[in-house]
Structure 1
């Protein structure tokens, strides 16, 4: 199926690894000009802009580079998120994060995306429209005592996404969110990452946490963590003109993590 992405200009944040890298590669393979915003360069055929999205000025620089290189922006994928730099998740319990933790979590998972949208929308409007996909989380709609600050930031992102879709949909800018469940990225697999933290709590090996403990703990119907490529494939479909009537939607790609109707 031709997704009609050839020649379109896509900005992807957090594109150096995990979901972001899979998205950047997939859009490039579909013929898009990809501008990757991340602190380190991705292993992909893209235009890299080295930025720290905790810097409030970074989004303007990223969009300006896309305009300079390719003349505009058609697609924005706000993927950067998760633990802020230097932070290890999970954190268990409402009292675990302090004020600084909450502020850093919202800065990385909400404000960076808000600033990217603010920078990109005027450029998209000048080209007659565009498509924005914000990577959220199943935790936004399934609250719990684990990572409460992260879930709250992603819930706020869902609200912003819906609001922006309502305001700019009539002008041709579509906005959707994807809510992954646990995805097999270095958030889980790196030394000291989530798998190691849960292994210490559960008295299990890291490998067993990834293969059995985590899918069981999160009641994943598929029995496994999500592959980053599965998120990237959904992104590619949502940003495609073939999804032209899909806006304001939240798509769960989560292995059955969310249980409500």
Structure 2
């Protein structure tokens, strides 16, 4: 299937590993010129041939620098994938282990800087180019936005805000040819779920149970009908499809193994 992406340009945040790396690989395979942003360049990212821009997207300066360097490299931006997220395990664990009364403002601020403000600032910086090229913004959210009682509370709320941002971009800039789409994964086989020092591994240690047992418990509690987590490649295929030319705008696509039951 030809996704009609050959010759286009893209910026992918959080492109050094996990879902972001899988997106970079697929876009490059489709003939897209890609700039990937992350704090560090991994060997895997370097192998893709994408241009790496090292930035800290929790800062306003990082977003400005990324788009300036991406525009200088690419000439213009057709696709923006706001994927950066999760960050340090200690940070995300706080939201899962502490109550609303215990979680400090600094944790909320850091989480929103990483998961919401990074997307807002990068999108805002890229919009002149996206309007000119009638481009597409894909925001990588999470089903956590719909699951207020599960997982890190600050993360959940930041993703709900990101979902609303997608709708606003679609509404305000759709008439100028810009599309905005949300992709909301459930559990994905990235470090959060697979690494012994990741969030699930940390919670397993806290509860004194084997890592794999904790994964199974989480999937059962969440009601996963497929009985497994998604792979980064599966999520990336949905993201790249969303970025391909279509009349889809303001929509949210869920890839969660059947966790979300509501219509």
TM-score range, shorter chain: over 0.9
1:250 aligns with 2:252: yes
Asked if the contact 2:86/2:92 (under 8 Å) is kept, the reply is: no
Q: Which has more helix, going by share of residues?
A: 2
CA contact (8 A) 1:196 1:206 kept: yes
Partner of 2:9: 9
Tell me whether 1:166 sits opposite 2:168 in the alignment: no
SS at match of 1:144: coil
| CA positional deviation for 1:236 | 0.8
Q: Shift of the alpha carbon at 1:14?
A: 0.4
1:42-61 equivalences under 5 Å are 42=42, 43=44, 44-61=48-65
Alignment of 1:39 onto 2:43: no
Q: Is the 2:144–2:151 Cα contact (8 Å) retained in structure 1?
A: no
Partners in 2 of 1:259 and 1:109 — Cα distance?
25
Please give the TM-score of this superposition, normalised by the length of structure 1.
0.93
Deviation, structure 1 residue 218: 1.5
Matching residue within 234, 241, 245 for 1:230 = 234
Task: State the secondary structure of the residue aligned to 1:94.
Answer: coil
Contact 2:138 2:180 in 1 (8 A): yes
Distance in 2, matches of 1:232 and 1:95, equals 37
Among candidates 164, 168, 185, match of residue 190 of structure 2: 185
Q: Does 1:87 align with 2:96?
A: no
1:84–1:108 Cα change, 3 Å: farther
Distance in 2 (alpha carbons) for counterparts of 1:84 and 1:201:
17
Quick one: distance in 2 between partners of 1:86 and 1:6? Answer: 40
Aligned residue among 116, 120, 125 for 1:119: 125
TM-score w.r.t. length of structure 2: 0.93
Q: Counterparts of 1:145 and 1:134 in 2: how far apart (Å)?
A: 21
Match of 1:219 in 2: 223
- Distance change >3 Å, CA 187–CA 85, structure 1 → 2: closer
Gaps of 5+ in 1: none
**Conserved in 1, the CA contact under 8 Å of 2:92 and 2:155?**
no
